[in-house]
Amino acid sequence: MPDYHDDLRLAHVLADAADATTMERFKALDLKVETKPDMTPVSEADKAAEELIRGHLQRARPRDAILGEEYGIEGTGPRRWVVDPIDGTKNYVRGVPVWATLISLMEAGEGGFQPVVGVVSAPALGRRWWAAKGAGAYTGRSLTSATRLHVSKVERIQDASFAYSSLTGWEAQGRLDGFMDLTRAVWRTRGYGDFWPYMMVAEGSVDICAEPELSLWDMAAPAIVVQEAGGSFTGLDGQDGPHSGNAAASNGLLHHELLGYLNQRY
C-alpha cells in the first residue's frame, strides 16, 4: 500500500496556513460577504483561504490537480486535491465557531477518484481530525500529538445518537417521513450540522449522521476520516465514498438500518 505520510504532512501545513487566515477575519466587523449564484454566502476569508491553499499546492505539488469550492477545477491527472476553504460559512459569518477547512487528496482508481488523505481543521473549536488510507484516523494538535479515532460499538438503532443539519433538504427530496421515523426510533437527535457530525461518528460520540444534499468538497475529507476510524461513509443510495451528492455515515453496525429509514418512503 502506498505511503501517504508526506501528503498528509503537507495537508497539515496547508491547514495551518488556512487556519491563520480564517481566524484573523473571524468575527471581524468589516468582514465582506457576498451571495453566490446558488444563493449561498461566500466571505472574503473563504476566497483568501482557498487562494492560499492553491498557491501552496502549485509550488509543492505542481503536477496535481486542484478542485475547490470557490475557484473550481484546475489541472488534470490521477491525483486531485479537493478543498473546501470554510465548511460552515453561514456559521462563520455569524460568529458561530462550528466551521472548518476541509482538505483531501483523491487518487484515481477503478471506482473513480477516491480520498486517500483527509484533514478537517476547526480552529475556532481548537480541534483537528485527519486520516490517510491504511494508516488510521486521528485527532489532536499535530501529527506527533494525536489520539487514534474509533467509531462506537452501538448495535441497536434505539440506542443510537443521530446527528443532522436541518429538515429542509429532506422535505425537498420527499424523504422527510423516513427521516422523522428515524428521529423517533433513535435514542437521541442533535442538529450539529456541517462537518462536525462526521467527526463525532469517527470519534464514537455520535453513531449515525446523514445529509440530503452535499458537494464533493463537503464530503471527501470527512469520508476518509470516518472510514479509517472503522465506520461506513456512503451516499443515501449506498454507494461507498463521497460521490452521491448526499451522505450517510455510521459506525458500520447501523448503516443498513440508517439507509433503510432514509429510503423507506422515498
- Tens-place pLDDT, residues 71-118: 899 999 899 999 999 999 889 888 899 999 999 999 998 878 999 999
Residue that the C-alpha cell 501552496 belongs to:
56
Residue 96: Cβ-neighbour burial (10 angstroms; 0-12, 13-18, 19+): middle
Whether pLDDT at 22 is above 90? yes
Per-residue pLDDT tens for 125-183?
999 999 999 999 999 988 888 999 999 999 999 999 999 988 888 988 889 999 999 99
What's the chain's Rg over C-alpha atoms?
18
- Global pTM? 0.94
Q: For residue 266, which amino acid is it?
A: Y
| pLDDT value of residue 197 | 97
Buried b (16+ CB within 10 A) or exposed e, 75-85: beeebbbbbbb
Cα–Cα distance, 18 to 10 (Å, whole number): 12
| pLDDT value of residue 34 | 74
- Write down the H helix ranges in the chain: 5-25, 44-60, 89-94, 168-172, 176-185, 196-203, 216-228, 255-263
| pLDDT value of residue 110 | 80
Residue that the C-alpha cell 447501523 belongs to:
254
H-run or E-run covering 69 = none
